[in-house]
Amino acid sequence: MFVMKGDSVTLHNNVETDQQEKIIWYFYSQVDQDQWSFRTRIAEISGNLSFICTDVQCNNGTERFKNRLKLDHQTGSLTITSIRDEHEGIYILKSISISGTTFQKDITVRLLVDMLCVKEVSVSVKEGDYVTLHTDVKMNQQENITWLFKSIRIAKMTRNLSFICTDVQCNEGTERFRDRLKLDHQTGSLAIRDIRTTDSGFYDLQFDKPCGNGKLFFIDVLGVSAAERDEMKIKSVKEGESVTLDPGEININNLMTWYFNDTLIAEITGDQNKICTDVQCEDTDERFRGRLEVNNQTGSLTITNIDTTDSGLYKLQISSRSSSFSISSFKSFGVIVTAVPDSGLSSAAVAGICAAAVAAVLLLLVAAVAAVIYHHNHQAKRNDIRKQSNDQVRYYEY
pLDDT in tens, 298-320: 899 999 999 999 999 999 999 99
Task: Please check whether residues 181 and 264 belong to one and the same domain.
Answer: no
| Confidence category of residue 139, pLDDT binned at 50, 70, 90 | low
Task: Please check whether residues 167 and 236 belong to one and the same domain.
Answer: no
SS3 at position 302: strand
Least confident of 40-44, 102-106, 214-218: 102-106
- C-alpha to C-alpha distance for 342 and 330, rounded to whole angstroms: 38
- C-alpha to C-alpha distance for 322 and 320, rounded to whole angstroms: 7
- C-alpha to C-alpha distance for 23 and 92, rounded to whole angstroms: 11
- C-alpha to C-alpha distance for 363 and 368, rounded to whole angstroms: 9
| Confidence category of residue 381, pLDDT binned at 50, 70, 90 | very low
Closest CA to 197 of 63, 37, 52, 376: 376
Task: Please check whether residues 137 and 71 belong to one and the same domain.
Answer: no
Least confident of 4-18, 109-123, 124-138, 361-375: 361-375
Q: What are the CB-based long-range contacts (under 8 Å, 24+) for 328-332?
A: 328/129, 328/130, 328/131, 329/126, 329/128, 329/129, 329/130, 330/128, 330/130, 331/233, 331/247, 331/248, 332/231, 332/232, 332/233
- Percent of the chain at pLDDT > 70 equals 72
- C-alpha to C-alpha distance for 291 and 311, rounded to whole angstroms: 14
Task: Please check whether residues 240 and 343 belong to one and the same domain.
Answer: yes
Task: Please check whether residues 58 and 97 belong to one and the same domain.
Answer: yes
Task: Please check whether residues 125 and 255 belong to one and the same domain.
Answer: no
Task: Please check whether residues 129 and 59 belong to one and the same domain.
Answer: no
Q: So what's the pLDDT on residue 282?
A: 66
Q: In this structure, what CATH number is given to the domain that contains residue 59?
A: 2.60.40.10
Q: So what's the pLDDT on residue 397?
A: 33
- Using the predicted structure, report yes or no on whether residue 88 has a pLDDT greater than 60: yes
- Work out the burial of residue 139: count CB atoms within 10 Å of its CB; fewer than 13 is exposed, 13-18 middle, 19 or more buried: exposed
Number of CB atoms found within 10 A of residue 38's CB: 11
**Element housing 389 (H / E):** helix 347-389
Q: Quick check: is 162 in a domain?
A: yes
Q: So what's the pLDDT on residue 243?
A: 96
pTM of the model: 0.61
Q: Quick check: is 391 in a domain?
A: no
Give the total number of structural domains in the chain. 3
Domain boundary among 185, 203, 224: 224
Q: So what's the pLDDT on residue 318?
A: 94
Buried b (16+ CB within 10 A) or exposed e, 71-89: beeebbbbebeebeeebbb
Please, which residues bridge with residue 114 across strands? none
Domain boundary among 78, 113, 148: 113
Closest CA to 11 of 85, 115, 95: 95
Max avg pLDDT among 80-89, 222-231, 273-282, 327-336 = 327-336
Task: Please check whether residues 347 and 369 belong to one and the same domain.
Answer: yes
- Using the predicted structure, report yes or no on whether residue 371 has a pLDDT greater than 70: no
Q: Quick check: is 173 in a domain?
A: yes
Mean pLDDT of 344-352: 53
**Edge-to-edge strands, sheet with 102-111:** 2-3, 102-111, 89-97, 20-28, 40-46, 52-54
Q: Quick check: is 395 in a domain?
A: no
Q: So what's the pLDDT on residue 378?
A: 44
Q: Quick check: is 389 in a domain?
A: no
Task: Please check whether residues 233 and 335 belong to one and the same domain.
Answer: yes
Mean pLDDT of 76-104: 84
**Element housing 334 (H / E):** strand 325-338
Q: Give counts: helices (H), strands (E), the chain.
A: 3, 27
The bridge status of strand 119-126 relative to strand 215-222 is: parallel
Task: Please check whether residues 365 and 233 belong to one and the same domain.
Answer: yes
Q: 396 or 107, which is more confident? A: 107
- C-alpha to C-alpha distance for 194 and 177, rounded to whole angstroms: 10
Q: Quick check: is 398 in a domain?
A: no
Average pLDDT, the chain: 78
Q: So what's the pLDDT on residue 58?
A: 87
Task: Please check whether residues 94 and 135 belong to one and the same domain.
Answer: no
- Using the predicted structure, report yes or no on whether residue 105 has a pLDDT greater than 50: yes
Structure letter (DSSP) for residue 118 = P
Q: So what's the pLDDT on residue 240?
A: 94
Q: Quick check: is 396 in a domain?
A: no
Domain boundary among 224, 252, 276: 224
Structural domain range at position 109: 2-113
Residues 6+ apart with CB under 8 A from 169: none
Q: Longest Cα pair distance anywhere in the chain, in angstroms?
A: 99
Question: Is there a contact between 117 and 215 (Cβ–Cβ < 8 Å)?
Answer: no
Q: So what's the pLDDT on residue 114?
A: 53
Q: Quick check: is 386 in a domain?
A: no
Max avg pLDDT among 150-154, 354-358, 369-373 = 150-154
Query: Which amino acid type is present at position 367?
Result: A
Task: Please check whether residues 272 and 322 belong to one and the same domain.
Answer: yes
